[in-house]
Structure 1
Amino acid sequence: MLRFILLSILTSLFTGNMLNAQRFDGVEIETIQISDHVYMLKGAGGNIGVSIGDDGIFIIDDQFAPLTKKIEAAIKTLSDKEIKFLVNTHHHGDHTGGNQNMQKLGATIIAHDNVRHRLETPQKRDNSIQPKEALPIITFNDELNIHINGEKIAVFHAEHAHTDGDALLYFTKSNVLHTGDTYFKERYPFIDLDSGGSVDGYIKAVKLGLKTINDTTKIIPGHGSLSNKEEYETFLNMLETLRDAIEIEIYAGKTEEDVAKNEALTKSFDDLNYGSGFINSEKIRRTFYKSLKG
């Protein structure tokens, strides 16, 4: 009987892994050149930033584990240098799923203190933890500067924004900002309240990013196409408009269900398809209510 149970578990795990890998069979990695040595890679999951040069290859985020070979192949078309560093902008699996694979390819993984903590803490759904090889080995609590490929990359923490471990990265010479998931271009953002995220912190993160850049900065959002300052400011306006509207509802004594059902609160942005992504209009109203009420 025990043998049968063990066989069933192994079969289930194998089948699950096969199906998970097949999810990504049709994914293609798109490479977009931003400057003479900085690139953006799009696939499935969070957008990847890549810097290439004489010092080696520097990567921001790595999407899902089954995509590592495709990501590596895309990078190989840009440079045959070694992968030196990988920065995780936060702990979510669509940005860190390839960590273990990248470490095996030679990457030193860097992230905020809270990212390592969350990756090595059992996850609620399956009580799993990341293997040691997937964990950041260099962590920081506020700011960090990385000097590679002829420029300084400023890494700074945004407190309680998308999560409690978000990092934004600014390429000081190339004038490129990678926001991680503190920016979903033309979509309502996912604010992970269970992982320390908050509406006010998210807005502060966008303001921090805007304070760092200028009118010609190229922006790699966590999700969406390459962006710019004007679009980033439009995103901030959406966040502040929703916050103000839902705060008024809260002060008026409205419940979460009242706000969730009130489509008028988000209609102007729903009409621009902001709710067509991972977070729809009802979810964003609930998220704002829970965060602001709390």
Structure 2
Amino acid sequence: MISKIFLNTFLLFSVLTVYSQSDTGEKNNTKLLKITSKIYMLQGKGGNIGLSFGNDGIFMIDDQYAEDIEEIQKDIKKISKEPIRFLVNTHFHGDHTGGNAALAETGTVIFSQLNVRDRLQKMLKRESTKISEVALPVVTFNDDLTFHFNGEKIYVFHVHNAHTDGDAMVYFTDSNILHTGDVFFNGKYPFIDTENGGSVKGYIAALEMATKIINEDTKIIPGHGNLGTFKDLKDTIIMLQTLYNRVATAYVNRKTEAEVLNMSDITKMYDDQGYGDGFISTEAFVKMLYSEVEKKRASIDQIEETNKAAREKYDKMMKDREEKQKD
């Protein structure tokens, strides 16, 4: 039995399979997009892969599902026969780390934020999870690290509690290309894994942090979706802020989750743009937002209740004092 998160991820992403056909007539599940002379994006059933080719070898970001890694390796060899020297996992989900074991066995060194290794290691210890020990990242970092590879500086930095608790973005500083991992779904409602450290607040903060590092000319490889722009990133921030605030307003006005789900006007402007056409439906996204608002408001409501009780106690104490003074 596959672990819950890997199974859910597989079911979610299996709908994204796109078949193309090679010159030999063989069907492919992947597509290579050339961004610059040395940076490519590889799309397939899982998360988008980033690739840097050069004299130093191949630098890779994420590796999709285990069952597709052989095809992915074949595609990569069409561009370069150099070894894949370094692999960065942007987070722990199986559609981004499934090829780890196969690549590690060829000598690829795997890097990740330390929470990614911790989560994969915990999964290894579960009897129901069949993940090879070699799939674990061998180098971890807390906040950031820098590679000097293929003639440019590659900056890898951790963004806190966004899609998960171990997300990393990768910025090719000279090529001006950013790989966001799943902290950016281009043009679709994102999957925010609140069960594994993700949060709406952290997701927005991560995207805002990215906008301070990149510029308006940056090309962006999203975790899922087509190659993006600075504007696409900003649009996602606005979408998240807008819909979160609308759901929060409804919650404060005592609307139940069911009532909010029936308020189609909340998301209409984004649904009309196709945001709900991905594997994260409008309903699933709104439910997640409502749950996040409810968690945040619970602490606020508790404070308000405590303050109310304190005021009532104080008022009673003052009233008793006044009555005693009258006597």
Partner Cα separation in structure 2 for residue 170 and residue 292 of structure 1:
32
Partner Cα separation in structure 1 for residue 242 and residue 132 of structure 2:
42
Check 1:223–1:124 CA distance in 2 against 1; reply closer, same or farther (3 A cut).
farther
Check 1:41–1:268 CA distance in 2 against 1; reply closer, same or farther (3 A cut).
same
Match in the other structure for 1:148: 149
Check 1:208–1:83 CA distance in 2 against 1; reply closer, same or farther (3 A cut).
same
Query: Structure 2 stretches of 5 or more lacking a match?
Result: 1-13, 20-26, 296-327
Of the two, which has the highest radius of gyration?
2
Partner Cα separation in structure 2 for residue 125 and residue 282 of structure 1:
32
Partner Cα separation in structure 2 for residue 198 and residue 189 of structure 1:
11
Deviation at residue 126 of structure 1 after TM alignment: 7.6
Asked whether the equivalents of residues 124 and 133 of structure 2 are also in contact (C-alpha less than 8 Å), the reply is: no
Alpha carbon RMSD of aligned pairs, Å?
A: 1.9
Code of the aligned partner of 2:271: D
Alignment length (residue pairs): 273
Match in the other structure for 1:54: 55
1 or 2, which has the higher helix percentage? 2
Match in the other structure for 2:83: 82
Deviation at residue 257 of structure 1 after TM alignment: 2.4
Partner Cα separation in structure 2 for residue 243 and residue 144 of structure 1:
32
* Match status 1:208 vs 2:221: no
Match in the other structure for 1:7: none
Partner Cα separation in structure 2 for residue 287 and residue 213 of structure 1:
29
The CA deviation string for residues 98-142 of structure 1, in whole angstroms up to 9 with x for no partner, is 110111122101011111111111389984153210000101111
Match in the other structure for 2:223: 222
- Once the two structures are aligned, what percentage of the paired residues are identical? 47
Asked whether the equivalents of residues 121 and 129 of structure 1 are also in contact (C-alpha less than 8 Å), the reply is: no
Deviation at residue 253 of structure 1 after TM alignment: 2.2
Match in the other structure for 1:181: 182
Check 1:166–1:267 CA distance in 2 against 1; reply closer, same or farther (3 A cut).
same
Code of the aligned partner of 1:286: K
Code of the aligned partner of 1:167: A
Query: What is the TM-score of this pair, normalised by structure 2?
Result: 0.80
> Which piece of structure 1 moves more, 207-216 or 257-266?
257-266
Asked whether the equivalents of residues 103 and 133 of structure 1 are also in contact (C-alpha less than 8 Å), the reply is: yes
Match in the other structure for 2:161: 160
- Per the alignment, in what secondary structure is the counterpart of residue 239 of structure 2? helix
Asked whether the equivalents of residues 24 and 66 of structure 1 are also in contact (C-alpha less than 8 Å), the reply is: no
Partner Cα separation in structure 1 for residue 161 and residue 251 of structure 2:
21
Code of the aligned partner of 1:97: G
Match in the other structure for 1:72: 73
Partner Cα separation in structure 2 for residue 124 and residue 236 of structure 1:
37
The CA deviation string for residues 39-81 of structure 1, in whole angstroms up to 9 with x for no partner, is 1001111000000111111100000111111111111111111
Check 1:125–1:259 CA distance in 2 against 1; reply closer, same or farther (3 A cut).
farther
The CA deviation string for residues 20-42 of structure 1, in whole angstroms up to 9 with x for no partner, is 9xx99954321111122111001
Check 1:125–1:251 CA distance in 2 against 1; reply closer, same or farther (3 A cut).
farther
Partner Cα separation in structure 2 for residue 49 and residue 62 of structure 1:
9
Code of the aligned partner of 1:255: T
Describe how 1:1-294 pairs up with structure 2 within 5 A: 26-122=27-123, 127-128=128-129, 130-294=131-295
Asked whether the equivalents of residues 158 and 167 of structure 2 are also in contact (C-alpha less than 8 Å), the reply is: yes
Query: What is the TM-score of this pair, normalised by structure 1?
Result: 0.88
Partner Cα separation in structure 2 for residue 144 and residue 119 of structure 1:
20
Code of the aligned partner of 1:98: G
> Which piece of structure 1 moves more, 24-33 or 207-216?
24-33
- Per the alignment, in what secondary structure is the counterpart of residue 33 of structure 2? strand
Partner Cα separation in structure 1 for residue 89 and residue 133 of structure 2:
15
Deviation at residue 256 of structure 1 after TM alignment: 2.3
